[in-house]
């Protein structure tokens, strides 16, 4: 049985995860709709370019929310943003690689593919941000 003192000890971590899901989930939802709009508005444009561009457009606003709201970090922007940006570059690379190689091989629909890539990059980003970019 979980004791109240144990629960109180873990509540800050639980709230941090919830905040990350709210910010990251909100960003993912915005990203998803941006990608769908881009795919419809530019049907002849190379699809991975659309997904990567949409992801890139959200880097700064989501950074600011993750730093201040999710992780409640007071890390200097000069230190934190390059790490955050590096994390996002890796996420963009994963996004581009999966969209370019995996989706065509397995004939994955663009809508399902967008959800899969956003989910994977979100999980990896949370780990990198918590334990590297915004580490206390």
Q: What is the pLDDT of residues 5-17, one digit of tens each?
A: 777 787 888 899 8
Q: Which structure tokens are listed for 113?
A: 């593919």
Sign of the torsion formed by the C-alpha atoms of 34, 42, 106 and 99? negative
Which pLDDT value is given to residue 45?
94
Q: What is the pLDDT of residues 25-66, one digit of tens each?
A: 899 899 999 999 999 999 999 998 998 899 889 989 999 999
Domain spans, the chain:
4-133
Q: What is the C-alpha to C-alpha distance for residues 113 and 96, in angstroms, rounded to an integer? A: 11
Q: How many CB atoms lie within 10 A of CB 131?
A: 9
Closest CA to 26 of 52, 58, 53, 50: 58
Which pLDDT value is given to residue 2?
63
Q: Is the pLDDT higher at 67 or at 117?
A: 67
Q: What is the C-alpha to C-alpha distance for residues 79 and 86, in angstroms, rounded to an integer? A: 12
Q: What is the pTM of this model?
A: 0.72
Q: What is the C-alpha to C-alpha distance for residues 25 and 20, in angstroms, rounded to an integer? A: 8
């Amino acid at each position: 049985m979980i004791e109240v003192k144990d629960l109180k000890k873990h509540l800050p971590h639980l709230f941090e995860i919830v905040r990350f899901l709210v910010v990251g989930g909100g960003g993912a939802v915005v990203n998803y709709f941006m990608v769908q709009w881009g795919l419809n508005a530019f049907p002849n444009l190379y699809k991975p370019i659309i997904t990567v561009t949409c992801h890139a457009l959200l880097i700064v606003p989501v950074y600011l929310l993750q730093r201040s709201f999710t992780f409640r970090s007071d890390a200097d922007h000069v230190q934190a943003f390059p790490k955050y940006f590096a994390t996002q570059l890796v996420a963009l690379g994963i996004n581009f690689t999966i969209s370019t190689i995996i989706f065509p091989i397995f004939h994955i629909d663009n809508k399902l593919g967008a959800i899969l890539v956003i989910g994977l990059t979100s999980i990896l980003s949370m780990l990198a941000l918590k334990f590297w970019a915004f580490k206390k």
